[in-house]
Chain A
Amino acid sequence: MGSVAAIATCAALHEPAGAQARAASPSAARAKDIEPRQVRLNVNGRPHDLSIEPRVTLLDALRDYLGMMGTKKGCDRGQCGACTVLVDGRRINACLTLAIMHEGAKIATVEGLAGDRDLSPLQAAFVERDAFQCGYCTPGQLCAATALVDELRAGEPSAVTDLRAATKPEVTDEEIRERMSGNLCRCGAYPNIVAAIRDVATSDLSKHRS
Chain B
Amino acid sequence: MDAFSYVRPADVAEAVRAGGASDARYIGGGTNLLDLMKGNVERAGTLVDLTKLPLADVTPIDGGGVRIGALVRNSDLASHAEVRKRYPLLSAALLNGASQQLRNMATVGGNLMQRTRCHYFTDIGFAACNKRKPGSGCAAIGGFNRQHAILGASPSCIATNPSDMNVALAALEAVVRVQGPNGERRIAFEDFHRLPGDTPERDTNLAPGELITSIDLPANGFAAHWHYLKVRDRASFAFALVAVAAALDIDDAGTVRDARIALGGVAHKPWRARETEKQLIGKRLDADLLATAANAAVADAKPHRDNAFKMKLAPAAIVRATRIAGGLA
Query: Is B142 in contact with chain A by the CB < 8 A criterion?
Result: no
Residue of B nearest to A155 (CB): B79
Query: Is A134 in contact with chain B by the CB < 8 A criterion?
Result: no
Is there an interface contact between B2 and A21, defined as CB atoms closer than 8 Å?
yes
Residue of B nearest to A21 (CB): B43
CA A10 – CA B127 in complex, angstroms? 10
Residue of B nearest to A156 (CB): B79
Within the complex, which residue of B1, B22, B124 is in contact with A24, where a contact is CB–CB below 8 Å? B22
Query: Is A208 in contact with chain B by the CB < 8 A criterion?
Result: no
B95 to A: closest C-beta gap in Å = 4
Is there an interface contact between B31 and A163, defined as CB atoms closer than 8 Å?
no
Q: Which of B101-109, B193-201, B312-320 contacts A (4 or more CB under 8 A)?
A: B101-109
Within the complex, which residue of A18, A77, A148 is in contact with B35, where a contact is CB–CB below 8 Å? A77
B83 to A: closest C-beta gap in Å = 10
CA A90 – CA B105 in complex, angstroms? 9
Within the complex, which residue of B46, B78, B88, B92 is in contact with A33, where a contact is CB–CB below 8 Å? B46
Is there an interface contact between A78 and B100, defined as CB atoms closer than 8 Å?
no
Query: Is B309 in contact with chain A by the CB < 8 A criterion?
Result: no
Q: Which of A34, A55, A164 has the most CB of B within 10 A?
A: A55
Is there an interface contact between B91 and A26, defined as CB atoms closer than 8 Å?
no
Query: Is A122 in contact with chain B by the CB < 8 A criterion?
Result: no
Query: Is A181 in contact with chain B by the CB < 8 A criterion?
Result: yes
Is the contact region of chain A dominated by helix, strand, or loop, or is it mixed?
mixed
CA A57 – CA B38 in complex, angstroms? 11
On chain A, the residues within 8 Å of B236 by CB distance are 159, 177-178, 181
Q: In the complex, which residues 53-80 of chain A have their Cβ closer than 8 Å to any Cβ of chain B? A: 53-55, 57, 76-78
CA A161 – CA B79 in complex, angstroms? 11
Q: A159-B95, A159-B96 are in contact. Are A96 and B84 (CB under 8 A)?
A: no
Query: Is B147 in contact with chain A by the CB < 8 A criterion?
Result: no
Q: Which of A97-105, A111-119, A123-131 contacts B (4 or more CB under 8 A)?
A: A97-105
On chain A, the residues within 8 Å of B255 by CB distance are none
Q: In the complex, which residues 14-67 of chain B have their Cβ closer than 8 Å to any Cβ of chain A? A: 21-23, 27, 29-31, 34-35, 38-40, 43, 45-47, 49, 51
Interface size on B, residues (CB 8 A): 48
On chain A, the residues within 8 Å of B237 by CB distance are 181-182
Q: Which of B3-11, B206-214, B288-296 contacts A (4 or more CB under 8 A)?
A: B3-11
CA A62 – CA B2 in complex, angstroms? 20
Within the complex, which residue of A24, A144, A164 is in contact with B23, where a contact is CB–CB below 8 Å? A24
Query: Is B99 in contact with chain A by the CB < 8 A criterion?
Result: yes
Q: Which of B99, B100, B125 has the most CB of A within 10 A?
A: B100
Is there an interface contact between A18 and B43, defined as CB atoms closer than 8 Å?
yes
B195 to A: closest C-beta gap in Å = 26
Query: Is A81 in contact with chain B by the CB < 8 A criterion?
Result: yes
CA A207 – CA B319 in complex, angstroms? 43
On chain A, the residues within 8 Å of B29 by CB distance are 96-97
Interface size on A, residues (CB 8 A): 50
On chain A, the residues within 8 Å of B27 by CB distance are 98, 101
A53 to B: closest C-beta gap in Å = 6
Query: Is A209 in contact with chain B by the CB < 8 A criterion?
Result: no
Is there an interface contact between A53 and B104, defined as CB atoms closer than 8 Å?
no
A137 to B: closest C-beta gap in Å = 13
CA A76 – CA B6 in complex, angstroms? 21
CA A173 – CA B78 in complex, angstroms? 21
CA A25 – CA B2 in complex, angstroms? 13
CA A163 – CA B91 in complex, angstroms? 8
Within the complex, which residue of A17, A34, A147, A157 is in contact with B79, where a contact is CB–CB below 8 Å? A157
Q: A21-B2, A53-B3, A90-B104 are in contact. Are A76 and B38 (CB under 8 A)?
A: yes
- Chain B residues in the interface with A (C-beta under 8 A): 1-8, 21-23, 27, 29-31, 34-35, 38-40, 43, 45-47, 49, 51, 75, 78-79, 84, 88, 91-92, 95-96, 98-102, 104-105, 124-125, 127, 235-237
- Chain A residues in the interface with B (C-beta under 8 A): 10, 13-14, 17-18, 21-22, 24-26, 30, 33-34, 37, 53-55, 57, 76-78, 81, 84, 90-93, 96-98, 100-101, 144, 147-148, 151, 154, 156-159, 161, 163-164, 177-179, 181-183
Given A93-B102, A156-B79, A182-B98: 14 more A-B contacts, CB < 8 Å: A10-B124, A13-B127, A14-B124, A25-B23, A78-B31, A91-B104, A92-B105, A96-B35, A98-B6, A98-B27, A157-B79, A159-B236, A181-B99, A182-B100
